[in-house]
Amino acid sequence: MKKVLIAGIIILIGFIVVLQFIPLGIEPLTELYFENHTKLPKYIFPGREYNFSFTIHNLEYQNMGYDYSVDAYKGNEFWYNLDSGRVFIGDNESATLGGEFVLNKGFDRARIQINIEKDHLDIVPDFKKKLWWPDPNYPDSVDIHFWVEEIVGATIIKS
C-alpha cells in the first residue's frame, strides 16, 4: 500500500510540473477595425476624394510587422490598389492609418477592402517557449471592407 501511495504522489507531482509549462489563456490575435465606422461613405460622387481611417491593434504577445493593402473591387473582381505599406506595432499597441480614395465614373457599386498580412519578425515570445503548438485555425491575414455606390446625376431625355 505504501508503494502505491508513493507512486501516486510521484505521478501527481509530475502532472503538476507538466501543467506549469502549459500556457494558460494565451490567445494571440490582431484586431482590425474602422475608426468612426458610422461616418464611412456609402454613396459617393465619381471624381471626388473621400477618406476613412482604420486601426490595427496588436494583441499577439509580441512585436509584429504588418503589410497592409487597401484595394478597390468592382463586385468580386479586383479593380485597383488604392494604398499599401508596412507598419511595425509593439505588443498591445495600436496604429491608426488613414486612407483616401477617388473612384472614377462607371463603377456602379464598389467594395473598399483593407487586407493585413502578419509578419512575426522571427521573435519567439515567452509563452511559446513552453509547451506550445501552432493553432491550425490561427489566421495569418485579416481583412475588413465597406461598400460604396456611385451617385449618378439625372439625365434629360428628349421625347
Residues 60-115 have pLDDT tens digits of 888 889 999 999 998 889 988 989 999 999 989 999 998 788 888 778 889 999 99
Phi, psi of 115 (to 5 degrees): -115, 135
Which superfamily does 27-150 belong to? Immunoglobulins (2.60.40.10)
pTM for this structure?
0.75
Dist. CA 89–CA 91, nearest whole Å: 7
Grid coordinates representing 114 are 483593407
Q: How far is CA 123 from CA 28, 59, 62, 89, 147, in A?
A: 14, 15, 7, 13, 37
